[in-house]
Amino acid sequence: MPCERTHREVGTLAGALAALHNANAQVPGDQLLELVGGGLGGRLGGCMPDVLEPAISSWHRGTAHSYSLLMVAYHNRERLLGAAEWCREKARDLRSQIPSSPGRELSLEFWAAAWALMAGFLVGFAAGYVSHLALDALTPRGLPVVWRSC
């Protein structure tokens, strides 16, 4: 059974790479912000199944560790990418206000950066969660289809 450290590290890497791939058309500064956000989201997402269903035994895997949850995530990927794009639009909108808002430049840039970071976080969280399921699927017990009673 992969340990918490493995889930954290693989989740961070998966989240950062997924966010970077998703941000390929962004300006370099926003690519970096999305990369960082993706790494943070992946780190959290990589641990989330065990937060929802603590790994107190090798039989701890239920709905949060199931193939059915993986399928739900797969079928809702467009919504997730739409949410990330919405965050990017918020960042662009805030940056477009900077030239006409003297004295508020720092505040607007901060919030624009926060929205770009969030775009990466959303994508990274999902990738980290999926990486956790993928690692657990490779163990001898695998993943349940829906849930497994103890």
Residue 91: which residues within 8 A CB-CB, separation 6 or more?
30, 112, 113, 115, 116, 119
pLDDT tens per residue across span 138-149: 988 888 887 555
- How far from the centroid of its chain's Cα atoms is residue 81's Cα? 11
Q: Where are the domains of the chain?
A: 4-75+120-137
pLDDT tens per residue across span 70-123: 898 899 999 999 999 999 999 999 999 988 878 888 899 999 999 999 999 999
Amino acid (1-letter code) at residue 64: A
pLDDT tens per residue across span 12-67: 999 999 999 999 999 999 999 999 999 999 999 999 998 888 877 667 788 888 88
Q: What is the pLDDT of residue 83?
A: 97
